[in-house]
Each structure stands twice: as C-alpha cells, then as structure tokens.
C-alpha cells in the first residue's frame, strides 16, 4: 500500500516536516533509529537517578519563537515553556555580571557607557521582531518585511567582533554581544557571526530563553503526540541504512546529515550532486558535561542564578581568541563555555534541594581530548566552590555525540558550518535547497536553511517543497 511520505529521523525538523505534510493532507510515516523520538531534544538520567539532563538542546529561544511551532497546539499536547527571569548572565572578573533581561531598558542600564548605544542598536528590531524572525528563519527569497530585513542584513553580515567593536565602547556590552555571537560556532572575526549575535539578543527581548518543563524531550513528545492526532505514524528503533529499508511512498524526507543522505540515497542521486554533498563542511564539535549538584551553582554574582543560560568566557577578546583557537585545531585553556541551569526554574529536573548543571564548549572536529578539568575550571572561575557541589558528572565528547546521533558529524551540533556561503547554500547551492535532483528525495534537517536550533523551520519548509510535488508522484519503492 505505502504512504505519501516517509520521513527518516524524528528530530524537531523531522517531526515538523511530518506534521506539515500531514496538515497538508498527506499520509505520513516517520522512521526513527533510536527508541524514542526527539533527536536533539532528548532528556535522560545521565548522572544519578532522579536527575533529568537534556542530552543536547537545553534552552529554547528559537523553539518558543518559531513561526511554525507557535502555530501548533503543542501546549495541548503537554509542552509547557518555563521562562526564567533573564535569558543570559555573562559574568566578568571582578565586576558584576552583565544580565540580558527581556526589558531593553533594564539591560541597557547594566551596560554603563554603552547604555544608549545598545538601545539604538536593538530598538529598531523590536518594533516587529516576529516579522523579522519570520523572514530570517525562512529560506533565501523575497522577504515580507524588506526594509527591516535590509536593516538587519547590513549589520548581520558583519563579524560579531567587528560589529561589537564598532558599536560599543565598553567591555560589558562587547562581552554580551560576543557571548551571543559565539552561538554561531564561527570565529568571531568571520563575516555573518554578527547575525547570530544580533538575532539572539533580539529573541531575548521578546521572550526569556525558556526551558521545557520536564526536559527538552517534552517538545519532541508534544510534536509526536500532535502528529499522531493527524494520523501520522512513528516507528522508533528503526535505523535506515539503505534504500532497501524504506517502504513504498511518493516522497522521502531525510532528517539526516548530507553525509547520510549521500550514503543511503547514493543509488538514486546523480554523481555530481553526491560529490557536492560529500564536500559539505560540518565545523567544530562540542565537549559537554552534565552534573548532578548538591545545590545551586555558587556564582560570585548571585544574579547569575536568574538566567537560564550563562556565558562563561570573560571579555570579547578572550572569547574571540578561544573560538579562533578551536578553528585552528587547538583546545584553548580558557574556552567559551555555554552553561544552562534548567533545575533552577524547573523543579522536575532534580530531587528536592538538588540541581542539574549542563555546559559545553566548542572543540576541534572529532576531538578526543578530555576537557573535564578545563571546563570545570572555567565555571569555578566565576563560581568558586562549584566543584564541591558536584555529586556526579557525565561527559560527552564529539565521538560520543556522533554515536548518539550520526547527524552530529565530528561532534558538530548544528547541522554544519553556517558561514556566508553555507548559511544559505546548505547543503548545496540550489534554488530550492530542500529538494535534490531526484524529485522524490528531500533533505529536511538542520543542514538546510535556516540551519541549527530547535525551531522546526527546516522541516516545515522542506515539507512545503515536497507538498508542491506530491500529487504528481506515484507511490513506489525508491530504487
Ligand atoms: C550539545 C547540544 C546542545 C544544543 N543546544 C541547543 C540549544 O540550547 N538550543 C537549540 O535551539 N538548539 C540546540 N542544539 C541544536 C539542536 O539540538 C539541533 O540543531 C536540532 O536538534 C536539529 O534538529 P534536526 O531535526 O535537524 O536533527 P536531529 O535533532 O539531529 O534529529 C535527527 C534524528 O534522526 C535520527 N536519525 C539519524 N539518522 C537516522 C537513520 N539513518 N535512520 C533513522 N533515524 C535516523 C536521529 O536518531 C535523530 O533522532 C544543541 C545540540 C547539541 C548536540
């Protein structure tokens, strides 16, 4: 019999694609390698019983603001966002931490001599932030808000370091911008790293970066539950390794890396396209630690406990040097560390009085170096006494991530380098990047625009592309 669409992988993009297809009237089957749906949004007791850690994604500005997820009835399917008091705390040596509040004015007031400059940079984008996000998170095309996009694009195309240095005079605002820009996983001197810095600041002034109640897996479960109400089917524990594993359908959407697409679908894709998929660049990996803690993290500036995410890396210069070192294949002594403290806001994450800690830093692709001491030293620098609170630790290196999910090639967590070329031409330069030369095969993972993060927009756009074709195709096996 077969179905209209088979989706390989149930990450946020695979599930978003399945839902968009089902909403468009298609019958849908999702095949997932792991025993549970979710991909980058899983939660597990990684350290001790009762401590629920987010294995991958931890804080969700893109999830709560996703133009597609916001249209879905995910709350009815159990998803509850918990908003912290602030999105980011950025501690600095020997002075109060910079805090990124939802209020533009309150944030600006904490930036000393850059108070007015910060306001001037962000305010124009806060007039219609959701409109801007709709355009930024879409595939390259004619924007709905061309003037706003032009204004954003002229700044966003710059490097995070260049933009921060030219707009701000003081270390505080520059450090805040650098921390947000470092989410790009690009060297901060590289063009377009400014886009991520700016975008993340904008999101924080619209919604505090939330955590999902009970763990990020709640997002996956809500998506899967809604998909089932639309008649979609999900088979977990089903790894696709070749075309022979795929049942008959009209279209196939791969929520996988370009490398896996090239491997699995090689017999039905032209050699030239396969060569281009194999040239795709994945970029640095991550080294991640999760801790079971005896109490909250003892930050020198206790206001750091108010933020879901803490950026540890000091000044712009220090963060830029650390990220540049990673791109040279080095392991900096003082890496830029992204820390999330979910249990501070969600009591379901740890037993009474106890806490979870989650932190990672960027490392060269495929690195096998144990950075436990380096990472903990960076936390200890801003939270003396942190180590004494550790009850148990769990470590994931790039090879652990790749084993956990083959999409994380070399430990790269956001679907591949998003530099000036690959941010838009992902996985290859094509008018419709979700399509492939085979009219029945699509890619819908974070290796398509708009790239990494839990927003489902890659899946949504890929599904729209597939829906335009589906009626003209026969149900058949893919051989
Ligand atoms: C450590 C870490 C921290 C992160 N932090 C954040 C964060 O705080 N906020 C944020 O928004 N994003 C974060 N991300 C990024 C985010 O998780 C990813 O960008 C997002 O999950 C990508 O979604 P996806 O659907 O494209 O792919 P994935 O989430 O990778 O899902 C792909 C799914 O496909 C399955 N699969 C793969 N190959 C096959 C196969 N051959 N057969 C069957 N199934 C297969 C996998 O098992 C997986 O379930 C983080 C990622 C990591 C690893």
Instruction: Please report which confidence band the pLDDT of residue 421 belongs to, taking 50, 70 and 90 as the band edges.
Output: confident
Could you read off the pLDDT of 289-321 as tens digits, one per residue? 999 999 999 999 999 999 999 999 999 999 999
**What is the model's pLDDT at position 420?**
87
H-type helices in 83-128, by residue range?
A: 104-109, 115-122
Residue 143 has pLDDT above 90, yes or no: no
* Cα 407 to ligand 1 centre (Å): 7
Residue 140 has pLDDT above 80, yes or no: no
The ligand 1 site (C-beta within 6 Å) comprises 8-14, 31-34, 39-40, 56-60, 62, 239-240, 255-256, 260, 286, 288, 360, 401, 405-408, 413-415, 445-446, 452-454, 458
Could you read off the pLDDT of 191-206 as tens digits, one per residue? 999 999 999 999 999 9
Which of 449, 477, 454 is CA-nearest to residue 464? 449
**What is the model's pLDDT at position 446?**
98
The percent of residues above 90 in pLDDT, for the chain, comes to 96
**What is the model's pLDDT at position 138?**
74
Q: Is the pTM of this model over 0.85?
A: yes
Instruction: Please report which confidence band the pLDDT of residue 141 belongs to, taking 50, 70 and 90 as the band edges.
Output: confident
Substitution candidate for ligand 1 out of 39, 58, 399, 409 with most atoms within 8 A of CB: 39
* Cα 124 to ligand 1 centre (Å): 33
Q: Please provide the average confidence, as pLDDT, over all residues in the chain.
A: 96
Residue 139 has pLDDT above 90, yes or no: no
Could you read off the pLDDT of 216-258 as tens digits, one per residue? 999 999 999 999 999 999 999 999 999 999 999 999 999 999 9
Instruction: Please report which confidence band the pLDDT of residue 189 belongs to, taking 50, 70 and 90 as the band edges.
Output: very high
Could you read off the pLDDT of 332-363 as tens digits, one per residue? 999 999 999 999 999 999 999 999 999 999 99
Ligand 1 atom with the smallest distance to the CA of 38 is 49
3-class DSSP state of 88: strand
Instruction: Please report which confidence band the pLDDT of residue 424 belongs to, taking 50, 70 and 90 as the band edges.
Output: confident
Distance CA 208, CA 218 (A): 18
**Tokens of residue 30, six digits:** 């999702």
**What is the model's pLDDT at position 2?**
85
More confident residue, 142 or 463: 463
Distance CA 105, CA 128 (A): 17
Substitution candidate for ligand 1 out of 35, 37, 57, 265 with most atoms within 8 A of CB: 57
* Cα 359 to ligand 1 centre (Å): 17
Instruction: Please report which confidence band the pLDDT of residue 269 belongs to, taking 50, 70 and 90 as the band edges.
Output: very high
CA-CA-CA-CA dihedral for 193, 199, 200, 205, to nearest 10:
150
Substitution candidate for ligand 1 out of 56, 261, 417 with most atoms within 8 A of CB: 56
3-class DSSP state of 329: coil
Place of tokens 């350290």: 47
Which of 374, 372, 454, 368 is CA-nearest to residue 411? 368
**Tokens of residue 19, six digits:** 């839902």
**Tokens of residue 143, six digits:** 């924007």
Which of 479, 462, 449, 412 is CA-nearest to residue 264? 479
């Amino acid at each position: 019999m077969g179905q209209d669409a088979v989706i390989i992988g149930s990450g946020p993009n695979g599930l978003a694609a399945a839902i968009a297809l089902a909403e468009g009237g298609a019958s849908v089957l999702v095949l997932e390698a792991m025993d549970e749906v979710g991909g980058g949004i899983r939660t597990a007791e990684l350290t001790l019983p009762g401590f629920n850690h987010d294995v991958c994604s931890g804080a969700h500005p893109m999830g709560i603001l996703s133009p597609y997820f916001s249209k879905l009835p995910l709350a009815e399917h159990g998803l509850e966002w918990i908003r912290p008091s602030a999105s980011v705390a950025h501690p600095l040596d020997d002075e109060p931490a910079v805090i990124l509040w939802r209020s533009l004015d309150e944030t600006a007031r904490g930036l000393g001599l850059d108070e007015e400059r910060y306001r001037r940079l962000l305010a124009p984008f806060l007039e219609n932030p959701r409109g801007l996000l709709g355009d930024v998170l879409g595939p390259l095309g004619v924007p709905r808000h061309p003037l706003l996009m032009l204004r954003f694009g002229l700044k966003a195309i710059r490097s995070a370091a260049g933009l921060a240095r030219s707009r701000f005079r003081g270390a505080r605002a520059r450090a805040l911008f650098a921390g947000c820009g470092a989410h790009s996983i690009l060297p901060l001197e590289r063009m377009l790293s400014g886009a991520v810095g700016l975008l993340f600041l904008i999101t924080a002034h619209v919604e505090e970066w939330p955590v999902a109640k009970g763990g990020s897996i709640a997002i996956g479960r809500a998506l899967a539950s809604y998909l089932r109400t639309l008649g979609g089917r999900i088979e977990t524990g089903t790894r696709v390794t070749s075309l022979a594993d795929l049942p008959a359908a009209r279209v196939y959407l791969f929520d996988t890396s370009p490398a896996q697409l090239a491997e699995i679908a090689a017999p039905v894709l032209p050699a030239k396209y396969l060569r281009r998929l194999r040239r795709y660049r994945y970029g640095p990996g991550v080294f991640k630690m999760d801790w079971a803690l005896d109490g909250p993290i003892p930050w020198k500036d206790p206001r750091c406990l108010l933020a879901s995410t803490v950026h540890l890396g000091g000044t712009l210069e220090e963060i830029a040097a650390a990220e540049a070192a990673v791109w040279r294949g080095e392991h900096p002594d003082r890496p830029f560390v992204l820390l999330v403290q979910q249990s501070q806001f969600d009591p379901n994450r740890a037993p009474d009085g106890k806490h979870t800690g989650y932190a990672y830093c960027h490392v060269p692709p495929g690195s096998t170096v144990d950075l436990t001491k380096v990472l903990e030293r960076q936390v200890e620098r801003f939270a003396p006494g942190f180590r004494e609170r550790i009850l148990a630790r769990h470590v994931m290196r790039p090879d652990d991530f790749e084993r956990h999910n083959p999409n994380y090639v070399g430990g790269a967590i956001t679907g591949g380098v998003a530099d000036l070329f690959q941010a838009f031409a992902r996985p290859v330069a094509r008018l419709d990047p979700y399509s492939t030369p085979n009219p029945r095969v699509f890619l819908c993972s974070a290796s398509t625009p708009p790239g990494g993060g839990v927003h489902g927009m890659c899946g949504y756009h890929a599904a729209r592309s597939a829906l335009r074709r589906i009626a003209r195709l026969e149900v058949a096996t893919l051989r």
